[in-house]
Amino acid sequence: MEAMRTVYLGWTWDVYVHRLMSGSLLLFALFMITDPRSTPKAPVGRLLWGVAIAFLTFILRNYFFVAPAVFWALFALSPLTILLDFLWKSPQFAWLNPMRTSIEPAL
């Protein structure tokens, strides 16, 4: 959406790259959206959840000029995780230890 907006407004690509290099976006992408506890369990739910957060972030950032829009979008859409988990059933994510043969939780 940011790329389409950049082309539509006739801006150069350095503006687009600058918009993608905000500290809040990098922090969000690297630490918050990859958290298996706060994301939906099913792949379809994760896709819908990510698209919803991206869309709300785009609207808040470009139309309401909210600088930490990605955090507000995550806060507002967190309850959506419960709904998506209810609609698409999937097992809880668990890290597997390659030395173990079973999926028992480590103590």
Distance of alpha carbon 74 from alpha carbon 60, whole angstroms = 12
Label residues 64-99 b or e (16+ Cβ within 10 Å = b).
eeeebbbbbbbeebeeebeebbeeeeeeeeeeeeee
Where would I find the H helices in the chain? 2-9, 13-20, 23-27, 43-63, 69-77, 79-87
Half-sphere exposure of 106 (CA within 13 A, CB side): 8
Q: How far apart are the first and last CA of the chain?
A: 44
Q: What pLDDT was estimated at residue 59?
A: 96
Task: Provide the residue ranges of all domains of the chain, joining segments of one domain with +.
Answer: 2-87
Does the pLDDT value for residue 19 go beyond 60?
yes
The mean per-residue pLDDT over the stretch 63-72 comes to 90
In sequence order, what are the residues at sequence separation of 6 or more whose Cβ sits closer than 8 angstroms to the Cβ of residue 88? 40, 41, 42, 44, 45
The mean per-residue pLDDT over the stretch 27-48 comes to 80
Q: What pLDDT was estimated at residue 68?
A: 86
pTM score, two decimals?
0.73
Q: What pLDDT was estimated at residue 29?
A: 74
The mean pLDDT of the chain is 84
The more confident residue out of 102 and 50 is 50
